[in-house]
């Protein structure tokens, strides 16, 4: 079995090293990751300049591009054989609710699915790498179970979030749906040294909503959240409604 491991936190991120070590217990691993922080890049591609893959002394590849670039180059150019799975992470920070629309971690798993390979994004909701490292055995169990799934569903990726507690305190795994997150006051107005107005995006106050079985509720309760995501964004329930708007010729 061949596994591609990537991330959006960069080639030096502790979460990447942890995930690669875990995956090596069950498969041959190739690491292809950005050469720097790429959080929030979503599913973007680098189109206006060439990409330069660089082989590191440990055999991993670093790419001067986005997580999506990394997966595309890995599968189509750098790996001698197509991977059986792509694991992205472990991200340093949560990817729940609308995060999945911005996340480079999730986008890397999404690109894998686009190219016909099962993709799994894994994120740690806490801030302490030493706590994240306690998940080594649980991650190994998850990787073994996921890679053993017969006939992994097409056009589907798994989005996994680890709660911000040591692994020994985790209550279990819950299969969840996406919650919904609202940011308020996340735009900071500032001035540069020359007095020109600038804006900094980030921070603010987060308000979560979402009913029973939402990902953020599971994580807050001490569970690992596992959310299956589908690539088809069509709202099938509204097809007939929209047809009734008489917008077609």
CATH architecture for the domain at 2-179+211-243: 3-Layer(aba) Sandwich (3.40)
**CA distance readout (Å), 77 to 21, 32, 55, 83, 212:** 23, 11, 13, 12, 43
- Alpha carbon distance 229, 214 (integer Å): 13
Tens digits of residue pLDDT in 68-94: 999 999 999 999 999 999 999 999 999
The whole-number average pLDDT for the span 108-130 is: 96
Interacting residues of 129 by C-beta distance below 8 A, sequence separation 6+: 14, 15, 92
**Hunting for tokens 């992205």 — which residue is that?**
88
The whole-number average pLDDT for the span 183-206 is: 88
Pick the closest to residue 146 from 3, 244, 11, 41 (CA basis).
Answer: 3
pTM: 0.94
**Hunting for tokens 């589908």 — which residue is that?**
230
Tens digits of residue pLDDT in 212-226: 899 999 999 999 999
The whole-number average pLDDT for the span 121-143 is: 96
The whole-number average pLDDT for the span 182-193 is: 86
Residue 136, pLDDT above cutoff 80: yes
The whole-number average pLDDT for the span 126-146 is: 96
């Amino acid at each position: 079995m061949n596994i591609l491991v990537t991330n959006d936190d960069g080639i030096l991120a502790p979460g990447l090293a942890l995930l690669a070590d875990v995956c090596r217990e069950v498969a041959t691993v190739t690491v292809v990751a950005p050469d720097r922080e790429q959080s929030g890049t979503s599913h973007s591609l680098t189109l206006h300049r060439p990409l330069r893959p660089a082989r590191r002394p440990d055999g991993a590849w670093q790419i001067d591009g986005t997580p999506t670039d990394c997966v595309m180059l890995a599968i189509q150019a750098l790996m001698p054989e197509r991977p059986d799975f792509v694991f992205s992470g472990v991200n340093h920070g949560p990817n729940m609710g609308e995060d999945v629309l911005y996340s480079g971690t999730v986008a890397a798993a999404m690109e894998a699915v686009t190219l016909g390979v099962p993709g799994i994004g894994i994120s740690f909701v806490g801030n302490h790498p030493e706590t994240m490292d306690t998940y080594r055995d649980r991650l190994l169990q998850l990787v073994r179970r996921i890679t053993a799934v017969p006939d992994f569903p097409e056009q589907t990726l798994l989005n996994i979030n680890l709660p911000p507690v040591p692994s020994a305190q985790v209550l279990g795994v819950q299969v969840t749906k996406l919650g919904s997150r609202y940011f308020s006051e996340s735009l900071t107005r500032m001035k540069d040294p020359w007095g020109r107005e600038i804006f900094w995006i980030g921070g603010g106050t987060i308000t979560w909503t979402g009913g029973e079985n939402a990902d953020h509720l599971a994580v807050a309760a001490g569970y690992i959240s596992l959310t299956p995501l589908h690539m088809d964004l069509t709202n099938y329930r509204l097809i007939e409604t929209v047809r009734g708007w008489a917008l077609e010729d």
